[in-house]
C-alpha cells in the first residue's frame, strides 16, 4: 500500500507564506540597491551622503567587500559559502517546522530573503551594496535589516514566546486508566 507523500494543506500554506516573506524581502532589497546604484554618483570608495534626517539618518552608498562592519574584506568566496550554508539550513529546517508557527515562518522568511539578497550581490558584483547610515551604526542595507530582524524575532520566539505557552493537560491516551475498586479494597 503506497502512502500519500504530498504535504498537508497546512504545510503547503506554511511553505507558501515562508516563500512569500522571503520573496518580498529579496525584492525590497534588490529594488532598493538598484535605486541607490542608479541615483548616486560613486567615486573612490563611497558616494557622498544624502541627508534624510540631519545628524541622524543619511543614505551613503558604499561597496562592502567584507562582512558586517567591513570585517574580512575581499573574502567573497567565504561569504558566498556561508550564505549557501545558511540558505540550505533554513530550507532544510523548514521541513521540520510545525505548520502553526507564524512567527517562525516570518523569522526564517526574513533571514532567507536577506541572505539571498546579499548572496546575489556577491555573486553578481563581488561586493554588497550598503547605503543606510544611522548615526553611529555601521552602514547597512535592506537585506541586513531583514536578517537582523529575523534573528531578533527568532530569539524572542525561542526565549520568550515559546517558554510562555501554558502547559497542556495530558491527553486521555497519556493518562493511566483508572483502577476499579473492588469490594475487598473498600474494607
Active site residue 130: yes
Question: Could you say which of 4, 38, 55, 130 is catalytic?
Answer: 130
Q: Which residue pairs, CB below 8 angstroms and at least 24 apart, start in 148-153? A: 149/110, 150/106, 150/107, 150/108, 150/109, 150/110, 150/111, 150/114, 151/107, 151/111, 153/103, 153/106, 153/107, 153/110
Q: Which of 29, 55, 144, 185 is catalytic?
A: 144
For 138, counting Cβ atoms within 10 Å of its Cβ (0-12 exposed, 13-18 middle, 19+ buried), the class is middle
Residues that are catalytic: 130, 144
Amino acid at each position: 500500500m503506497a502512502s500519500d507523500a504530498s504535504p498537508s494543506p497546512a504545510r503547503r500554506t506554511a511553505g507558501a507564506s515562508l516563500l512569500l516573506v522571503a520573496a518580498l524581502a529579496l525584492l525590497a532589497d534588490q529594488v532598493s540597491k538598484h535605486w541607490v546604484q542608479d541615483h548616486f554618483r560613486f567615486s573612490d570608495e563611497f558616494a557622498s551622503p544624502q541627508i534624510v534626517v540631519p545628524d541622524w539618518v543619511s543614505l551613503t552608498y558604499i561597496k562592502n567587500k567584507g562582512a558586517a562592519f567591513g570585517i574580512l574584506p575581499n573574502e567573497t568566496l567565504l561569504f558566498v559559502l556561508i550564505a549557501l550554508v545558511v540558505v540550505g539550513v533554513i530550507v532544510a529546517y523548514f521541513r521540520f517546522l510545525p505548520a502553526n508557527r507564524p512567527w517562525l515562518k516570518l523569522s526564517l522568511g526574513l533571514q532567507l530573503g536577506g541572505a539571498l539578497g546579499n548572496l546575489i550581490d556577491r555573486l553578481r558584483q563581488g561586493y554588497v551594496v550598503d547605503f543606510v547610515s544611522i548615526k553611529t551604526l555601521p552602514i547597512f542595507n535592506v537585506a541586513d535589516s531583514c536578517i537582523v530582524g529575523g534573528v531578533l524575532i527568532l530569539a524572542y520566539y525561542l526565549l520568550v514566546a515559546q517558554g510562555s505557552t501554558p502547559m497542556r493537560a495530558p491527553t486521555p491516551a497519556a493518562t493511566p486508566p483508572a483502577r476499579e475498586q473492588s469490594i475487598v479494597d473498600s474494607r
